[in-house]
Amino acid sequence: MQTVTVALGERSYPIFIGEQLLGQRACFEPYLAGRQVCIVSNETIAPLHLAQLEKTLAGFDITTAILPDGEKYKTLATLETIFDRLLAARHTRKTTLIALGGGVVGDMTGFAAACYQRGIAFIQVPTTLLAQVDSSVGGKTAVNHARGKNMIGAFYQPRSVVIDTATLATLPAREFAAGIAEVIKYGLIVDADFFGWLERSMPALLARDSVALTHAIKVSCEAKARVVEADENESGLRAILNLGHTFGHAIETATGYSEWLHGEAIAVGMIMAVDLSARLGWIETSVTERLIALVRAAGLPVKAPAAIAVSRFIELMQVDKKVLDGKLRLVLLKALGEACVSDAVAQPLIESAIRDHCE
């Protein structure tokens, strides 16, 4: 088992990475606030992994909340399901929520934990690659709104993150590829050597080789932990973790959170952002070419849907958490492995980067 620590003073927490950790009571018990536990999962993941976790936590007072599966259910209405279960079972402030599932389950469970009785403990148990390398770490919790993604939420850190790589064995290939998009992101924004490793190791990753997979997850978690430690509430540096997300969220919103997976949209969004960086003269066009090749090798899309007009893209991008004083701020690259945030990019240049990467 590998351990990465997110160092946030009294709120520091471990990220455990290894195989068969769902069966390791020591990964859970020290981080539970009391005897009451509510495990939140969804209709797809619960039949696969819930029984194992319940067995591991035998002796605790366990409630379960099973949500519908899919990004389109990441709403305030679905959040009520969690609150209903907590209240019906009379959960107190000493309860602990456990998020067993992908990013949608993790985001909603974390947000529920931040809200229930003004804040209770929670643990992340991510079962998708995307959640393991990104959304489970750092304390961002939220639900979507029809007008914008993740616009209603809170910064709220978990007590621990338990990454059982064995859960990836049941992950569909499309979902697995979507997670690789966020892994690629870390190479782009903070670690050029890791980007090169991904170019060489993509076949091993796609084959779910345990050594390659553990390395990719650990490096990704370490990269995110360091950024979160420096800027927990995204007042500056942490925004670089959103490379491609302003473009990608526009794709997700325009397609109703149902046609494209988050990682698929982010893959295309990163291509647009990196291409825009090249158009500004900050990086060589070869970086864009390498990224497109890597995204394609991962089995991810490299073009946005043609049905989304450029004007609609821009409209949706304006509903973004990084917009400040009416100015659209974009995460771009100064170099491979070095990201920055800029609000000084002319709109025609943004439009051309979008247009050239739509079907």
Residue 118 designated active-site:
yes
Residue 242 designated active-site:
yes
* Active-site residue identified among 91, 215, 249, 321: 249
* Active-site residue identified among 85, 149, 159, 262: 262
* Active-site residue identified among 150, 242, 264, 321: 242
Residue 25: φ, ψ to 5°: -60, -35
* Active-site residue identified among 224, 321, 329, 357: 224
Six-digit token pair at 252? 């997700």
Residue 245 designated active-site:
yes
Name the strand (E) or helix (H) holding 177.
helix 173-189
* Active-site residue identified among 245, 279, 329, 357: 245
* Active-site residue identified among 71, 175, 182, 252: 182
* Active-site residue identified among 10, 118, 147, 200: 118
Return the percent helix, strand and coil in the chain, to nearest 5: 50, 20, 30
Six-digit token pair at 23? 């069966």
Cα–Cα distance, 194 to 339 (Å, whole number): 15
Residue 49: φ, ψ to 5°: -130, -10
Cα–Cα distance, 331 to 190 (Å, whole number): 13
Q: Which of 55, 2, 62, 10 is nearest to 38 (CA)?
A: 62
Residue 215 designated active-site:
no
Cα–Cα distance, 287 to 296 (Å, whole number): 14
Cα–Cα distance, 119 to 264 (Å, whole number): 33
* Active-site residue identified among 74, 238, 279, 329: 238
First to last CA, the chain: 43
* Active-site residue identified among 74, 85, 91, 140: 140
Residue 249 designated active-site:
yes
Six-digit token pair at 186? 């870390």
Residue 145 designated active-site:
no
**Which residues are part of the catalytic machinery?**
118, 140, 182, 224, 234, 238, 242, 245, 249, 262
